[in-house]
Structure 1
């Protein structure tokens, strides 16, 4: 009788255990299936974004700058000739403004509607290093804060259907003897006791003006304030292309689409190792494709932005639908980065088929914000990434990014949905994942699928991260489990 009761109890327990195990297994399969389907849907979404972005088209008319008085290979200011060609081209309905073979000196170049500014192979624009040549001041931005400052070297404001193309070179001629020294760093030519951007009336004053709600039109800087201009800036533009050119020696950020929509950066080579020489910084921008480019920079190769602190919250505009394909990154602080100027938020970033490799590349995928910036970073999808070497981390997500002193505030950021798939790393540096969130706002949903990382010191270092998942992921030869 006792044996029968024991058998009956064991049978019930076993049945319940089996049922529970099956349910647990089914639940796990269901969660994995949902995540897998979510990833597939995101990549489908990327394809629909690509289809929506069209290359600008131009009439078959050519305006050679030489016909407007430009002179090559001589100390001659070609600004007037280039400006005249651009204005006439646009006035006549658009076409191509041609820079033929040769070296042409110039001040700031401002684009107009329906103009393709095209540099022939062996054509080079040499931009002046005299700050006075970038007057009058224009509406622009410095590290996520809008103001009136020197014109970017190539600038378009509120223009449609514009391009910079060709196999020529844009040479900012920046170096330790001019623009770079303003950074207040001795390795870039700054001498102690000379003025720089860190002086109280310069960068700090600009940030304070934004915090105090001073209108942009009254944030007047320029001469005497040592805030460097961006190289190529598209401000509030639509249907933009920059293709195949080589850009070297930038004063500051290299390519900066701000408040722009439908932007294609294709086949551009950037080689510029100055301070804050980010390669491409889409800011408050939507539907941006960066593809087939090579980055060798003094800062982040690609850095997606959306405004700094109060100014970002004033504008309140996301950067979204940013696609990076078939790019190669060498030197840089980060390969593909979001932040730190991120107050407006970033959604839907897709990175695929890229290569990163340099002993001077700090981090492959980098997200940086803090409680002064705030903002939401969501939906960052990466696949088919080949990494040779990074110094610090394959993935770094940091809610406590600290630069320019105290960065504590009341705007707690959010980071959600980071997905890396089919990634191989030969030398992973210090960490595979370095992630730090807030207790009240943990980083949510990091997935590594089919990832192989070799020669890394630590698997990960995390703080306040929810739902970290590893699927078929090997680090230092060992399968990593959740």
Structure 2
């Protein structure tokens, strides 16, 4: 495989009307730690091995109908206690299935226990309360990669094992411009000038300062009087988690957020939620995650892999790894499969295959975002057999200068290496085909494109501070890219 090495401070490769400017590094060839996966003959065998070893929970054939515990499907009666009683009875009996029959059920947060499959029958819809006090007392949770004590997630499990939410029903977070979303501070989501929001001094700045100062998580108390939106489904420090067939709509914040969890399967799930930060699935500090057969139509990233923000990510020190995404459809979203920006603990061994990504409102297909406050090592990313209809900005975007907040420069140089894209077909490549912005002190290393064909990209390639880019049978706008 031929390699091109780039170590200029800025290199821009542009194809305009058929012109291609090829640049090669004249410096001496040298070995790099980036090529540490050379012993793997087929990474997809490794992916199959990870899937084979993921424990998918099974449950005793015992049913607990929530209506037997007082649940009423009228859309107005609060069923929090009935749901809690059914879950407790199921868990105490050794496990089984908590059944929610067809109908509309209003509830506060649902807290799962070990060995419980919370199952929505076809036609069942869970309506989550719009009364914020229902989500108190505070629980151990997280916001944008920083742990804290805050409002309960809508569905929550803490240090449990063998848990599931399944069935053909719908979880409706009832978030909107009149509930939860205005706290984002964005006018298009209902925020009005003068209202309190997450950016106020007593919210994100206070939490960020606590993280910087090393305040213990149990002392980072928020909840009432603060404006942090809860995640929708959050298994926290759990093992053997299954999310299957259900539908999530109208989420306050991130939709599925397995954090510090192991053996997570997301199968056949539909996410249709276009609110602020409505990421579809965010594995964080999590290992052995299999996301398959899902539909993501979101207000933010379809899938975003996380591992903590700044000092909190370094304090926890757990990377997300062994994550497989396959046979999924990505529609609207900031990115199809994304790593970052809360990535300080690092990410490795991500496999994406057999997916469709297509929407005029999908910004990027594959994205990696970090900076020198986040740092982190992002490595061994494999993408294969992806059909992209349309993206706005780029098919592949790697950015080590990511900034949505002020002061995003620090002392933690990110490392990005071993990126493989293979068998990718793109009809409309957007503003850029490939967009890479590394750092002079830490160039993006060992990027490989094989059988990648991108049409209708305004600027085919923009590469800054990257080494070891390999092209094999790559065309952009019909022109072959050669080394």
* Aligned position for 2:337: 336
**1:306, distance to aligned residue in structure 2 (A):** 0.1
Alpha-carbon spacing, 1:38–1:359, altered in 2? closer, same or farther (3 Å): farther
Pairing of 1:354-433 with structure 2 (within 5 A): 354-433=355-434
Question: CA offsets per residue over residues 175-204 of structure 1, 9 Å max, x none?
Answer: 001100000000000000111111101011
* Aligned position for 1:58: 59
Aligned equivalents of 1:374 and 1:238: distance in 2? Answer: 28
**1:47, distance to aligned residue in structure 2 (A):** 1.0
For the pair 1:156 / 2:140, whether they are aligned, the reply is: no
Aligned equivalents of 1:379 and 1:217: distance in 2? Answer: 35
**1:429, distance to aligned residue in structure 2 (A):** 0.3
Pairing of 1:35-434 with structure 2 (within 5 A): 40-434=41-435
Aligned equivalents of 1:235 and 1:355: distance in 2? Answer: 30
TM-score normalised according to structure 1 size: 0.92
**1:35, distance to aligned residue in structure 2 (A):** 11
Aligned equivalents of 2:355 and 2:227: distance in 1? Answer: 36
Aligned equivalents of 2:289 and 2:277: distance in 1? Answer: 21
Which has the larger helix fraction?
Answer: 1
Alpha-carbon spacing, 1:35–1:236, altered in 2? closer, same or farther (3 Å): closer
* Aligned position for 2:465: 464
Aligned equivalents of 1:409 and 1:131: distance in 2? Answer: 36
Pick which of 324-333 and 40-49 moved more.
40-49
CA contact (8 A) 2:150 2:222 kept: yes
SS in 1 for 2:218: helix
Q: How many residues align?
A: 450
Question: CA offsets per residue over residues 277-322 of structure 1, 9 Å max, x none?
Answer: 0000000000000000000000000000000000000000000001
CA contact (8 A) 2:75 2:127 kept: no
Question: CA offsets per residue over residues 95-127 of structure 1, 9 Å max, x none?
Answer: 000000000000000000000000000000000
SS in 2 for 1:81: helix
Alpha-carbon spacing, 1:159–1:466, altered in 2? closer, same or farther (3 Å): same
Question: CA offsets per residue over residues 422-481 of structure 1, 9 Å max, x none?
Answer: 000000001111101111100001111001110001121011100111101111111111
Aligned equivalents of 1:401 and 1:469: distance in 2? Answer: 24
- Divergent runs of 4+, >3 A: 34-40
Alpha-carbon spacing, 1:140–1:290, altered in 2? closer, same or farther (3 Å): same
**1:41, distance to aligned residue in structure 2 (A):** 2.8
Question: CA offsets per residue over residues 335-359 of structure 1, 9 Å max, x none?
Answer: 0000000000000000000000000
Alpha-carbon spacing, 1:425–1:35, altered in 2? closer, same or farther (3 Å): farther
Aligned equivalents of 1:297 and 1:224: distance in 2? Answer: 28
Question: CA offsets per residue over residues 232-286 of structure 1, 9 Å max, x none?
Answer: 0000000000000000000000000000000000000000000000000000000
Alpha-carbon spacing, 1:74–1:441, altered in 2? closer, same or farther (3 Å): closer
Aligned equivalents of 1:306 and 1:334: distance in 2? Answer: 17
**1:36, distance to aligned residue in structure 2 (A):** 11
Question: CA offsets per residue over residues 62-99 of structure 1, 9 Å max, x none?
Answer: 00000000000241000000000000000000000000
Question: CA offsets per residue over residues 370-404 of structure 1, 9 Å max, x none?
Answer: 00000000000000000000000000000000011
CA RMSD, 1 decimal: 1.3
TM-score normalised according to structure 2 size: 0.92
SS in 1 for 2:258: strand
Aligned equivalents of 1:278 and 1:92: distance in 2? Answer: 35
SS in 1 for 2:257: strand
* Aligned position for 2:477: 476
Aligned equivalents of 2:252 and 2:41: distance in 1? Answer: 41
Aligned equivalents of 2:414 and 2:72: distance in 1? Answer: 53
Q: Which one has a bigger Cα radius of gyration?
A: 1
Aligned equivalents of 1:54 and 1:235: distance in 2? Answer: 17
SS in 2 for 1:136: coil
Aligned equivalents of 1:95 and 1:63: distance in 2? Answer: 8
Aligned equivalents of 2:238 and 2:56: distance in 1? Answer: 14
**1:37, distance to aligned residue in structure 2 (A):** 7.0
SS in 2 for 1:257: coil
**1:54, distance to aligned residue in structure 2 (A):** 2.3
Unaligned runs of 5+ in 1: 1-27, 29-33
Aligned equivalents of 1:113 and 1:298: distance in 2? Answer: 32
Alpha-carbon spacing, 1:74–1:45, altered in 2? closer, same or farther (3 Å): closer
